[in-house]
Amino acid sequence: MKTILIVDDDVYIGDMLEELLTKENYAVGCAYSGTEALLYLSSRRPDLILLDLMLPGLSGEELLPLIKDIPVIIVSAKAEVSDKVDLLLGGAADYITKPFDTSELLARITVQLRKNTGRKSSGILSFDAIRMNTDAHTVTVADMPVRLTQTEYAILKLLMANPSQVITKSVILDRISEDTPDCTESSLKVHISNLRKKLKAVDGKDYIEAVWGIGFKLNEEL
How far apart CA 185 and CA 21 sit, in angstroms, is 36
- Tell me what pLDDT residue 79 has: 77
Q: pLDDT, tens digit, for every residue of 131-145?
A: 998 878 899 999 999
Phi, psi (5° rounding) for residue 72? Answer: -120, 125
- Is the pLDDT assigned to residue 102 strictly greater than 60? yes
How far apart CA 154 and CA 181 sit, in angstroms, is 11
Q: What is the DSSP letter of 55?
A: -
- Tell me what pLDDT residue 12 has: 94
- Does residue 95 contact residue 87 with C-beta atoms inside 8 Å? yes
**Given strand 208-211, what is the order of strands in its sheet?**
167-168, 215-218, 208-211
- Is the pLDDT assigned to residue 150 strictly greater than 70? yes
Listed range (70-84, 86-100, 111-125) with the worst mean pLDDT: 111-125
Exposed, middle or buried by CB within 10 Å (0-12, 13-18, 19+), for 204? Answer: exposed
Please list the alpha-helical segments (H only) found in the chain.
11-23, 34-41, 60-63, 81-89, 102-120, 150-161, 169-176, 185-203
- Does residue 55 contact residue 36 with C-beta atoms inside 8 Å? no
Q: pLDDT, tens digit, for every residue of 55-64?
A: 998 899 999 9
Instruction: Name the residue with higher pLDDT: 190 or 220.
Output: 190
